[in-house]
Each structure stands twice: as C-alpha cells, then as structure tokens.
Structure 1
C-alpha cells in the first residue's frame, strides 16, 4: 500500500513541479527550481510536524505526502545541474547567489514550516 500512496503522490508532485516550471519560464536565473525547493522545505516541515505527528493519519498517507509529493515536487538534481551550467558559463557570482539563497532560504522556509505547524497544532517550534 505504501508504494501506491508514494506513486500517486509522486505523480501529483511531479506534475505540480512541471506546472510551476511552465509558469516561471523566461528568467536567466533558475527561479522555478528555487521556488519549488523553498516551498518544498516549508511543506516537508508541515507534513513532518502536523501530519506525521497525528496518530490518526495513516503512515501510508504520511509517506505519500512526504516522500511522494514533496520528494517529486522538489529537485536537488536540477539544482545541481543548473549550478554546474552557471559555473561553466562563467556566472560564478550567480551560482554562488543561487547556492546561498537555496541553502539559507531552505533552512528558513523549513523553520517557517515548523513555526506555522506549531501555531496550527499548539506545539513549540
């Protein structure tokens, strides 16, 4: 049953990421990948704190939402390849900015997800 949940949610996450990519085209900076990765950090924190912490939620659903949807929605591989392409094009500053925003922003968005979840379920972030 886990595979079914992960598979269905992966399809939804992948299609959502593809849609975001279509909406955010035409930039010289890899905006679409940055957006999905930052939003994914927030979502995984929420899934971890709200959904996974609720004993009434089936573990298959938790796996589907976390591993499936968020895993397919976010993309470390695209982030890595885009940075290699920026570096090969001599855009070292842009690559550094992208890496910095992704790392610091990812942690910040995850923390925001924890804060949001804590307010929602009444736990300390």
Structure 2
C-alpha cells in the first residue's frame, strides 16, 4: 500500500469514528424531528474540506496530508448516504416538509461552510 493510500485509510478511520461519536452525542440530547447529527457532520466536514483545500492550494499542506485530511477524514466524516436515508425516513413518516427542510439546510449550510473554510483558509495562508 502506498503512503498516500495508507494516509487516506488513517484519515478515514478517524473521520468515521468522529462521525459516529458526534452523532451519538447529539442523539443523546433527545429526540428531534431533524437528524442534527448528520447535518452537523456534513456541515463541519464541508468547512474543514474548504480549509484543507485552501491550505493545499496555498502550498501550506503537502499532497499526502491533503489526501489524508480531505479524502480520508472529511470523506468519512461526511455522509451523503445517511442524508438520503434520513430524508427518505422523514418523507415516509409523513414529515415531508421536514424532509425538504433537511435537504435545503444541508445544501445551504454545506455550501456556506465550504465557502467560509476556503475563504478563511486563503485569507490566513494565502
């Protein structure tokens, strides 16, 4: 296995465990209609990916670290499949308005967070 692949694997392991723990912590606060754990990890991952890619673009982060943090950690932290599944559950349970709200919040928050991460990263490192 190459160093880059091993770095991605290590980042993925940390990202997946982080996603699990964040979701668990938010779920333990009580039942809510919207799946806040998934929304939180997807938004946080978008912010971090923006920062990682800005650091990479500015030359402050080498390729192996970019792969480990971007593809590995952020890729495993965020989850499109869970977003899809949770949206389907909301819609099937009759909470269609909440399903639409959840998707809209995820897209808007994710894009805003990625933009913020990219912009902040370039401002600091750029």
Q: Deviations over 1:17-75 (max 9, x none)?
A: 1110111003331000000001111111100001x124463312111110000000000
Q: Deviations over 1:56-110 (max 9, x none)?
A: 6331211111000000000000000000111111111000100110111111111
C-alpha distance in structure 1 between counterparts of 2:48 and 2:60, whole Å? 19
**How do residues 22-101 of structure 1 correspond to structure 2 at under 5 angstroms?**
22-25=24-27, 26=30, 27-50=32-55, 52-55=56-59, 57-101=61-105
C-alpha distance in structure 2 between counterparts of 1:119 and 1:70, whole Å? 21
Paired residues, what number?
121
- The match for 1:11 is 13
Aligned partner (choices 114, 117, 123) of residue 118 of structure 2: 114
Q: TM-score, normalised by structure 2?
A: 0.90
Q: What is the CA RMSD across the aligned residues, in angstroms?
A: 1.3
C-alpha distance in structure 2 between counterparts of 1:95 and 1:47, whole Å? 30
| Structure 2 unaligned blocks of 5 or more | none
